[in-house]
A and B are shown apart, each in its own frame.
Chain A
Amino acid sequence: MSCENSSCSASNGEPTATRSAAPMWIIVAALVILFVGGYYFDQHSGWFDPKVYAPYASGEKLSAYQPQSGEAAALAKGKAVYESVCGICHGSDGLGKPGQAPALAGSEWVVAKGFNRLAHIPLAGVNGPIQVAGKDWNMAMAAMGAALPDDSLAAVLTYIRGSWGNKASAVSADDIKKIRASMGGASVPCSCDQLKAMPE
C-alpha cells in the first residue's frame, strides 16, 4: 500500500531542524574550562605517576616523605640532630650568635683537612680563649656531643662540614668510634692549646 490513494496521510509531519552554528560564547567557555582544568590537572594529578595517591600531588612531594639512604640520608640526619642539639647556640644558619657561640660557616676549625680536632670539641667541650674565623672568643662549651651515638655525631659533623658553603670531607661513624676510644673516657674540656697540640 503506498500513498497514491488519497485516503492515507503521508508521514510528512516529521520534525525538522534549521541548521545553525554553535555560538561563540559556549566554545569560549569550553576553552576557559579546559585551561582551568589543565591547571588543576597539573597541580593535582602527579602526571599519571602510578605511585602518587591523593592527598599527595607529585612524585617530588612524595619522595620528600620517603626514608632516605646514602649520603643524602646522612646529611638529612645530620641536619635533624644539628637543629635539635647544636643549632640553638650556633644557629640553624651556622652563623653563630654574638657573645654566645662562634660561627661554624667558614670556621677554620670546621673545614680543616682532618676532623680529629673538630671531633674533640663536641666530645670533650672547649674552655678558654680561642680564635675562630679571625674573632677572639672566650669559650665555655660543654661536651654537647658526648652523649650522642657515633653515627649521629658523625652525621652532625658531616653536616656542618658540608653546609653553608663549607666543603670539607665527610665523617664516618667508625672515625668517631676511634676518636672516642683514643680519648679514653676523658671528658675534661680542651683548651685551644690542647686542641692545637693534637693532630689535625
Chain B
Amino acid sequence: MNPTENKTFCASEIDASCRVPLLALFGGAALWLVAGLALGTAAVMTFHKPDMFADCPFLTFGRAQAAANDLLLYGFAMPAALGVMLWIFSRLSQSPLALPIVPVAAAHLWHLGVLIGTVAILTGESTGQTWLEYPRVAAVLLFAAFLLIAITAVATFGLRKARELFPSHWFLFAALLWFPWIYSTANLLLPFNHLPRGVVQPIIGWWFANNLIFVWLTLVGVGVAFYFLPKISGRPLTGYGYALFGFLTLVFFGSWVGIPQSAPVPAWLPTVSSVAAALAILPVLALALVVKKSACGAGVSCKGGPFCFIKFGMLGFVVSSVLYVSEFCPRYARVLDFTWFNFGVTQWQLLGFATMIFCGAIYEILPRVMEKDLPFPKLAKVSFFLLASGVLLYVLPLIIGGVEQGMKLHHANVPFAEASAVALKFLRISTTGQLLILLGALCLLLNIFVMTIHWKIGLLKQLIAAVTAPLESTEVKL
C-alpha cells in the first residue's frame, strides 16, 4: 500500500485545500443571490406600479421574473451547494480536496454561464422553457462546469479511508448524478433540438422542473443539513433507518411527481403524478423525523448562528414539500392551479429551504476555511433574522392569497378580473418580505466580499514581504 494513503491530515490542512475553490464558488453565488432578489423585486413592481418599468424592456415581468428565478437557482443555490458539497466530501474523506484547481476553473465557467444566461434572458434571448431559459452557450457552460466539479467531488470521495458511508454521502452523491442526467436530457429534448412537438413538450418541462426543484434541491439541502446538524450539535445523527428509507423513497417516487392535474395530457400522466405525490409524503415525513430527532434537544443555543439557518431551512423543507405535494392532490389542485399558490411554494423551496441551508453552511464553513472569524459576525446573525422573517413574509401571503384567488376563480359569480385582483393586497405584503430577504443577502455578500478582500490583501502583503525581505546572512557569503 502506498504509504501516503495512511497519512492523516489535520482539519486545517483539509480546509485550506478548499479555500480558493470555495471562495470562487461562494463569492459569485452571493453576488447572484443579491442580483436575483433585486431582479425579483423589480419584477413584482409591475403589480404595484405598472408603468414603473414600462419603457424598459429589460425589466418587464416576463424577463425579470425568469432571470430572477434562474439567478436564485443556477446563480446561488447550485454553486453554493457544490461548494458546500466539496468541503463536506473532503472533510468526510479526511483528505484535502483532490484536483483543487479544477473547481476553481469550473466556478469561473459556471459564473460566466450564469452571466451570459442572465443577460440573454434580459435582452429577450431566452429559450422560453421554464428553468431552461438559458441559451445554448450558457447551458453548455453550466453543464461542463458541473461535470468538472462533480469529477473533483468524486475524486475526493474516492480518497476516503472509511468504507462506510455517512448518510450525507448518499444524498450528495445522488445529487451529483441527478443534475447532469436531467439537465442534459431536458436541454437536448427541448431548447436544443425541439424534437418532441405538442403534448410531449410541457410533459418534459414539468418533469424537469419537478426533478430540479423538488428532487435535486431536496437531495443537496437534506444532504448538507444531515452533515451540519450532528456536526454542530456534536451528537451522532439519529434515525439512520429513517434516513435510508427517506433517501430511497425520494429517489424512487420523487421523480414521478410534477404533472399538474389540469394538464391537457392523457389522464394516466396526472394520475401517476398524483399517486407518486402521495408516496412522496413518505420521504418528507421520514427525513423530517431524522431532523427532529437530531436537532431537538441538541442543546445548541444558536441565536442566529448556522444551526438556526439549518433548522429553519429544514422546517421550510418539510412545510414547503407538504404544500408542494398537495398541489397534486386532485381535490386541492382544482382550486390551486393558475394561482399564486404554486409560485409561493416554489419560492419557499428556493429561498426558505435551499437558500437558508446553504447560507447557514457558508457561515459555518467560511471561518474554518479562511482560518479567520467572519468580518461582521453580528451581521451574519442579523441576516438570519432578516432572511427568516423575510421568507415568511414573502411566501405566506402568496400561499394564502393563492388559496383565496383560487376560491374566487371557482366562484361562478366572481368575474375573472376581480379574482385576480384579490392577490394584490397579498403581493404588497410579500414584496416587503422580498426586501427583507434582499437585506439579509446583502449581509452575506458583505461578509464574503470583505473576507475575500482581507485574504487578498494578506496574500499581497506576503508577496511584498517575500520580495522585499532582506537576504538572510547565511546566503550572503562573501
Contacts and interface: CB of A to CB of B under 8 A. Distances in A.
B387 interface: no
Contacts of B239: 20
A44 B271 contact: yes
Interface string B142-169: 0000000000000000000000001100
A54 B270 contact: yes
A9 interface: yes
B94 A14 contact: yes
B342 interface: no
Contact of B9 (A3, A18, A36, A52): A3
Interface in B262-287: 264-268, 270-272, 274-275, 278-279, 281-282, 285-286
A135 B14 CA distance: 106
A45 B11 contact: no
A11 B94 contact: yes
A23 interface: yes
Interface centre among A26, A36, A47 (most CB of B within 10 A): A26
Interface in A144-168: none
Q: Chain B at the A interface: mostly helix, strand, loop or mixed?
A: helix
Nearest to A39: B275
A65 interface: no
B64 to A, nearest CB: 34
A145 to B, nearest CB: 43
Interface centre among A8, A12, A15, A19 (most CB of B within 10 A): A15
A11 B96 CA distance: 11
Contacts of B458: none
Contacts of B240: 17-20
Interface string B350-392: 0000000000000000000000000000000000000000000
B10 A34 contact: no
Given A15-B237, A44-B271, A9 B10 contact: yes
A10 to B, nearest CB: 5
A14 B164 CA distance: 13
Contacts of B278: 33, 36-37
A15 B236 contact: yes
Interface in A1-48: 1-3, 8-23, 26-27, 29-30, 33-34, 36-38, 40-41, 44-48
B194 interface: no
Interface in B313-327: none
A27 B237 contact: no
Interface centre among A17, A37, A38 (most CB of B within 10 A): A17
Interface string B422-450: 00000000000000000000000000000
A196 to B, nearest CB: 58
A141 interface: no
Contacts of A46: 266-268
Contacts of B9: 2-3, 10-11
Contacts of A9: 10-12
B271 A15 contact: no
Interface stretch (B40-48, B242-250, B399-407): B242-250
B19 interface: no
B7 interface: yes
A3 B10 contact: yes
Given A11-B11, A30-B279, A49 B266 contact: yes
A8 B241 CA distance: 35
A20 B91 contact: no
Given A14-B94, A22-B242, A30-B282, A53 B12 contact: no
Interface in B2-28: 7-14
B202 interface: no
A70 B166 CA distance: 68
B227 to A, nearest CB: 6
B129 interface: no
Contacts of A20: 239-241
A38 B272 CA distance: 9
B121 to A, nearest CB: 33
Interface centre among B166, B237, B268 (most CB of A within 10 A): B268
Interface of B: 7-14, 91-92, 94, 166-167, 227, 229-231, 234, 236-245, 249, 261, 264-268, 270-272, 274-275, 278-279, 281-282, 285-286
18 contacts: A2-B8, A2-B9, A2-B10, A8-B11, A11-B10, A14-B94, A17-B166, A17-B167, A18-B240, A22-B286, A23-B242, A26-B282, A37-B278, A38-B275, A40-B271, A41-B268, A45-B271, A50-B266
Given A1-B13, A8-B12, 8 more contacts: A8-B10, A16-B237, A17-B236, A26-B282, A40-B271, A40-B275, A46-B267, A52-B266
Interface of A: 1-3, 8-23, 26-27, 29-30, 33-34, 36-38, 40-41, 44-54, 56-57
